[in-house]
Amino acid sequence: MDTYINNLEWRYATKKFDSTKKISSEDLEKLLKSIQLSASSYGMQPYEVLIIKDPEVRKKLQPEAFNQSQITEASHLIVFANLTSISEEHVDAYLDNISKIREIQVEKLNGFKDMLANTVLQQSKEEQSAWAEKQTYIALGNLLSAAANYKIDVCPMEGFDAGKFDEILGLKEKGLSTAVIAAIGYRSEEDVAQHAKKVRKQKEELFQHI
Ligand SMILES: Cc1cc2nc3c(=O)[nH]c(=O)nc-3n(C[C@H](O)[C@H](O)[C@H](O)COP(=O)(O)O)c2cc1C
């Protein structure tokens, strides 16, 4: 089998990290690049990503995540926080960024602006938040694959109280909310989960070729 698939077989949702092993800044940059390069609907990237190394902050977060050990024992904790609503300012900031990077006048993007105004900006705040939250999972998926490529372990996690996380991290006042988190680092030799066989649907059950 090719390396990419082998690496996906190698990865697993790590239950116990080796807290003595830290991700180097070079490797961390590569993982963050995989998040930065993630695709998103309209390219808007309606989220921010927090990289938490601070042990004190993680100690505060742990009880709000069912005391899961990964929160404090992993090398870093990544928090994907989605925008809870999308405003005209967000759209304008995005268009300005396109204009700057592609060196085109922002007026040339008026058609695209109208499209965003007629779709994303028409949604209720709840719909915008749900849409933004979905985008974070694409970034999470990229992180999982990239980390496997570099033989770095990850535990993707939904087992936490988003409201409490938002409070501790001061996200609400920034118009953000915790969507999903990922503990990243290196597996402990003692983690029995690494020896468990992968449980996945059979191809016939999963795929429909039409
Ligand atoms: C969005 C998401 C949330 C998850 N939440 C948790 C979690 O809170 N704690 C945990 O130990 N594992 C969590 N997992 C890990 C899954 O249980 C695991 O990915 C799944 O059982 C497949 O196993 P594998 O990733 O080891 O191949 C989560 C996975 C995903 C994708």
The CB of 159 under 6 Å from ligand 1? The reply is yes
Q: What is the pLDDT of residues 104-122, one digit of tens each?
A: 999 999 999 999 999 999 9
The span from the CA of 55 to the CA of 109, in Å, is 44
The span from the CA of 80 to the CA of 47, in Å, is 7
The span from the CA of 41 to the CA of 139, in Å, is 12
> Residue 100: what pLDDT?
98
pLDDT bin (cut points 50, 70, 90) of residue 192 is: very high
- What is the identity of the amino acid at 18? D
pLDDT surpasses 90 at 1: no
The average pLDDT across 185-194 equals 98
The CB of 32 under 6 Å from ligand 1? The reply is no
pLDDT surpasses 70 at 156: yes
The protein residue with its alpha carbon nearest to ligand 1, atom 13, reads 157
Pick the residue with more confidence: 1 or 180?
A: 180
Mean pLDDT of the chain: 98
Burial of 19 (0-12, 13-18, 19+ CB in 10 A): middle
- What is the identity of the amino acid at 20? T
The average pLDDT across 41-50 equals 98
Buried b (16+ CB within 10 A) or exposed e, 169-187: bebeeebbbbbbbbbbbbb
The CB of 156 under 6 Å from ligand 1? The reply is yes
SS3 call for 181:
strand
Copy the structure tokens of residue 5. 């698939």
